[in-house]
Amino acid sequence: MDDYKSTDRSIYSRWASPVEIKASLYRVETNGNPKFGGIPLYCEDGVVYADHLDSHTLIASATASKKTRNIGMPALQILALAGESFIATDPKAELYEKTLLLLKKQGYDIFVLNLREPQKSNCWNPLKTPYDLYKQGNRDLAIEIIVDMSNSFIQDNSCPVAVKNDSYWHNNASNLLAAFILILFECADENQIHFKSLRSLRKQALKQDLKSDKNKSEYTPPFIAEDLDFEPIFTSTVPASFVDNKSV
């Protein structure tokens, strides 16, 4: 306690020494197979010292200061040698190009999500996991995922300010999307659980309401204001408890 009250800032305000840094990190031999992976924070005489704990690391540096080369790339190589799974954000594809051979050699299953060029991307169905949970009886967790997903999707910055500032519209749009997903889970076959089926179901359910003069308003949210001429791909019978059968 006396040390804490001391006016000598050198006691508690200083950089860690190399000995202290190495003592707090995991030693990684560059020519071996490490037991753990992590972010490399120190290197000396061909030995890397990495933070292998479940903690967050912030790398702050100027553009073109070799953050990827000195930290990002070595981190992925250490993780690969340790056999740990990981997700890497790689907008320039440089991590993919420079670690692909190593990852294949280590026996990794590699998946690429490329939203800019979908033809070069692996496919991912975000409805698959909640659907499996739903059918396995873990409905609470499935619904929690669906609700979170729906809230993320309903982000419309093009709507009028009056609508944007009123959470009522976004909340109800999100609830409607979640309801359609649950209907899909209840009534569709497993090979129909995807967004194309969801789009078809939504269009069929809202088709009559959108064409009714009584339901027209000055603002129609973009996700239901599309052309209604389509070929239904969702043909399962929806229980009356969910929606009027005549609309499906």
Q: Closest Cα to residue 198, out of 234, 229, 148, 173?
A: 234
pLDDT reported for residue 12: 67
Q: What is the mean pLDDT of residues 130-150?
A: 94
CA distance 175 to 160: 20
CA distance 47 to 65: 22
In which band, very low, low, confident or very high, does the pLDDT at 209 lie, cut at 50, 70 and 90?
A: low
CA distance 197 to 232: 8
Per-chain mean pLDDT for the chain: 78
Tell me the pLDDT tens digit for each residue of 51-109. Answer: 888 888 888 888 888 888 888 888 998 899 899 999 998 888 888 998 999 999 999 99
In which band, very low, low, confident or very high, does the pLDDT at 225 lie, cut at 50, 70 and 90?
A: very low
Show me where the domains of the chain are located.
Answer: 2-120, 128-247
- Would you call 118 helix, strand, or coil by DSSP? helix
pTM listed for this prediction: 0.56
CA 42, chain centre distance (Å): 30
Q: 164 with 157: CB under 8 angstroms?
A: yes
Tell me the pLDDT tens digit for each residue of 3-55. Answer: 445 555 666 678 888 888 888 889 887 677 788 888 888 888 888 889 888 88
